[in-house]
Each structure stands twice: as structure tokens, then as C-alpha cells.
Amino acid sequence: MKPHLALALLLLFLFLQQKWLLVNGDMFIKSRGIHFMLNGSPFYANGFNAYWLMYVASDPSQRPKVSAAFREASRHDLSVARTWAFSDGGYNPLQYSPGSYNEQMFKGLDFVVAEARRYGIKLILSLANNYESFGGKNQYVNWARNQGQYLTSDDDFFRNSVVKGFYKNHIRTILNRYNTITGVVYKNDPTIMAWELMNEPRCTSDPSGRTIQAWIMEMASYVKSIDRNHLLEAGLEGFYGQSSSWRNNLNPGFNIGTDFIANNRIPGIDFATVHSYPDQWLSSSNDQKQLSFLSNWLDAHIQDAQYILHKPLFVTEFGKSWKDSGFSPYQRDMLFNIVYVKIYESAKHGGAAGGGLFWQLLAQGMDSFRDGYEVMLDQNSSTANVIAHQAHKLHQIRNIFARTRNMEMWKRARGRRGQWLSGNKGKRIGN
């Protein structure tokens, strides 16, 4: 091959690759101040939770359900999904025992990442569970007990150095996973928006909050020592702690050893998260009280992210169960609407709210996964409309920013050209 032909082909290849990247919006989501950024514009997203994706995808005959979920989600303009990248011990897990992994389950997660990319959906991958489903703190602590550690509480997950070693090994294994479908190592994959340290970390044995604070600091710097591409969040529900006594009257009455302000201030934590289940947290209050709680809860967290933390905020879980007494789909739509209006109003005015992820999306034929909170986009049409409407509105904000930015770039370019012209005016060039 002649050298200039080879060069031309190389340039063409690079051009096409660049073009492909742009078409797919396939870059890392970053944070800048209180905003998420993607390809130079603020990123706002409506999205969903679907904890079951890896588990279902680990059985190749069930993969169409995963694809259907992503297809329906993208059809409704949803662009972020939060899911579990853990399943520790027990029957058919991802991690059989510390450091020993189930390749079949890992291929399920590879498939989830590949499908998300295909449908233009970014992922938040959670790395462990506070609760016992899919193993959780309890399983890690038991593994350490089997190795002779004397541990008295599941909260020793946050304290014991052997357990912390097991957990760090899991972090390292996930981040360095080579995706057998896409060929991209997870820590280099822009399909992943963020890592989450744990689903709803709680340490009731230390209400001072010091244990969780130290654990998040240690684990955040560990994640960052492996992966500086991706954002990181802690997985918190947003309860206030000792660092913000002026807020504590907002808490729904339990102290679980976390601190929204102090925990999210940790440098390796890139954005704050908040969950909200007024139907569970205020189960003896009426609907109206629950909704007004929700409204204040979101206002406070959006403001605190903006003015105290100076970081973006994602509402990473909210929902309403049809198992609640007196439930109607209208009530659920109303709750979704409150969350969506809060996010939209903040985003529209340049505030810290970046988006919301409802709990939880199911595809058809998944009755055994119903937990009361499930939404089937192709069947629950009123809720699906509320969801799609929000997605559309958030995309519009992003488009307005993108247009304004292009306009400014164009003006700046024209300004420079103008300067150059006027700078040369009157001078006799080439004489």
C-alpha cells in the first residue's frame, strides 16, 4: 500500500470513529459544578431502576426480557438505568465466595452493558447491598466469620479489615471486567454513567455517622485509584445527620448512621443521591401528608446539593406500591408528578437536580419480580405517559443549552474573524 493511501485510510477511519462516537453520544458523563455534562452540554435524564437485569440476562433464553425493557425505556426517551452489579453467595450468585466468580452471571452483566449501549442508555451500577437480598453485608460478614473473624454485627462490614478487603476485591473485579460482548473493559466504558458503593448503606450500630463516613472515604478513594473516568456516588437515601442539625426535623424519624451533608462532601463522591418512599417511611400518615413530606424532602435535598455540597443530585429511587391501602394508579401518577416537577423546575433554572429514576421497571412475563412498585411501560399507560412527558421536557432543556452553546461558539468565532478583519483594516498588507 502506498504511504499516502495508508494515511488517507487511517484518517478516514479516525473520522468515521469520531463521527460514530458523536452520533451515539458515546462519551463519559462528567460533573462540572452542580451539573452533569455530556459532550459539552448539561445532561439531564429521566430513567428507571431495574435491579434484575444481570440476573435475568444470565439465562440466555431470558435475554429478550432485558432487551424488551431497554427497548420500551428508549421508546419512552429514558436514558439512565440503575441496576445491581452484585449478587453475593447463595444459589446462582455472581460471586460464589470471596474472589471466586460465576462466569455465566458475569456474561449476563456483559449483555446488560452491551444492550444499554445499543439503546443509548447509561448505567448506574451498584456494587453491594445493605440488605440480605442478593447477599449483602450479611454475606460478606459471614464469609469473614468462616475465615475465623469474630464478628458480632452485619455492620462489621464497614469496620472489619478482612471484610473490607473482600469488598475491595469485588470493586477491583467489576471495574477491571473485560466485557466479552463489547470488548471494552468496564472501567473504560462510557455506557456506564457511575458506580454506586452500596444500595442504601445503613449503619444503625453507629448513629454518630462516623463509621459510614470513614468507610465511604476509604472506598471512594479506592474506586478512584482504579478508575478516574467514571462518576461515583455512595447510594445514600438522603437522611440528615449530625452535621446538619437544622435539617433533622425533616427526617422521617429514624437515625441509621448516615449523614447526607457530611457523606456527600467526601471528595471522591461526585454527586449526591436521594431516595423517597413516603408510603413506607410515613406509613401511618394519609396520602396528603405523605406527598407534602415528599415535596419538602426533595426541596431540601436539591437546595443542599446546590448551595452546600456544590454537586449535582440524582433522585435514584422513588415509587408507590399498589399494595398500599386505597391505592389508585392516579395516586401513583401524582407522586411521580411531584418528583418530576421538582426536578424539572430545578433543572430549568440551572439548579442541581439532574434527574430521577423510578422504582421499578419490569418487562412482560416477569410476574415473579412484582413487588408492588412495578411499572410496565407498555401496559400501565397513564404512568407511562407521565414518565415519557418528563423525559421529553428534560431533553428539551438539554437541547436549549446545546443550541445556546453553539450560538455562543459561533458568535465568538465571528467575533474573532471580525477582530482580524478590523485589525487588518487600514494596514497595507503585502505591500
Residues noted as catalytic: 200, 317
Opening angle at CA 308, ends 303 and 310, nearest 5: 90
Distance CA 29, CA 271 (A): 12
Kind of pairing between the strands at 353-358 and 313-318: parallel
As a residue count, the chain comes to 431
User: Residue 247 burial by CB count (10 A; 0-12/13-18/19+): exposed, middle or buried?
Assistant: middle
* Nearest CA-CA partner of 339 in 314, 363, 322: 314
> Do residues 56 and 108 lie in contact, with contact meaning Cβ atoms separated by under 8 Å?
yes
The residue to which cell 437541547 is assigned:
399
Q: Between residues 275 and 320, which has the closer beta carbon with respect to ligand NAG?
A: 320
> Do residues 124 and 82 lie in contact, with contact meaning Cβ atoms separated by under 8 Å?
yes
375 CB-near residues (< 8 Å, 6+ apart): 48, 358, 360, 361, 362, 383, 384, 387
**b vs e for 304-331, b when ≥16 Cβ sit within 10 Å of the residue's Cβ?**
bbbebbebbbbbbbbbbeeebeeeeeeb
CA atoms within 13 A on the CB side of 431: 5
Q: Which residues of the chain form contacts with ligand NAG (CB under 6 A)?
A: 322, 329, 332, 376, 379-380
> Do residues 76 and 388 lie in contact, with contact meaning Cβ atoms separated by under 8 Å?
yes
Q: How many CB atoms lie within 10 A of CB 184?
A: 18
Q: How many CB atoms lie within 10 A of CB 17?
A: 10
Distance CA 322, CA 317 (A): 16
> Do residues 175 and 207 lie in contact, with contact meaning Cβ atoms separated by under 8 Å?
no
Which H/E stretch holds residue 222?
Answer: helix 210-226
